[in-house]
Amino acid sequence: MKLPRSSGHDVFKVSVRLTVGERFTLDGVDLSSRRSREGFAAAAAEDCQVPVEVVRGDLGKLLFAVEEAQARRRAAATAKPDPIAEMLPADHAAAMAFLRRPDLLGATLADVARTGLVGERVNIETALVRMIFMSSVPSRALAGLCPAM
């Protein structure tokens, strides 16, 4: 079963397939509509030769599962992002000391080499500059080029 992508609170239209041995039925069901659920339950019970009460019970469980999934999706969509983590003063001081090194580019290239990235030096330098410009904090994107910022 695939959940609908709509953010509406009352959209419960799904495709449901019921399989019992070699028998199966597949149909669209609006889980919020009793008429739709009853129609599917009656047809599925007949097609698969199972008691209609069993199909009704399974549709009820499916309805609750869809409601819970939509509630989780809505909660995730409206959740506030995590606040930006602040650096500890000691970590900040160590980072600033690293940025003020006279051999900053060489030290950074050595760190990159330890990660296993290989290639011509100019390409690696270009990649580093791109990473700086693609900072997650746009107002500080050039901070890697100008440590005094």
Question: What pLDDT digit, counting tens, does each position of 101-129 carry?
Answer: 888 888 888 888 888 877 787 888 787 77
Determine phi and psi for 116, rounding to 5 degrees.
105, 0
Q: Which position has the higher pLDDT, 50 or 86?
A: 50
d(CA 86, CA 35): 55
| pLDDT value of residue 82 | 74
Average pLDDT value for residue range 12-29: 92
pLDDT at 9 over 80: no
Provide the pLDDT confidence category of residue 148 given band limits of 50, 70 and 90. very low
Tell me the three state secondary structure of residue 42: helix
| pLDDT value of residue 125 | 79
Q: Which position has the higher pLDDT, 25 or 147?
A: 25
Q: What is the DSSP secondary structure assignment for residue 117, as one 8-state letter?
A: -
Amino acid at 31: L
Classify strands 23-30 and 13-20 as parallel, antiparallel or unpaired: antiparallel
Neighbours of 29 (CB within 10 A): 21
Over residues 52-84, the pLDDT tens digits come to 999 999 999 999 998 998 889 888 888 887 777
Q: Which position has the higher pLDDT, 32 or 5?
A: 32
| pLDDT value of residue 8 | 54
Count of residues for the chain? 149
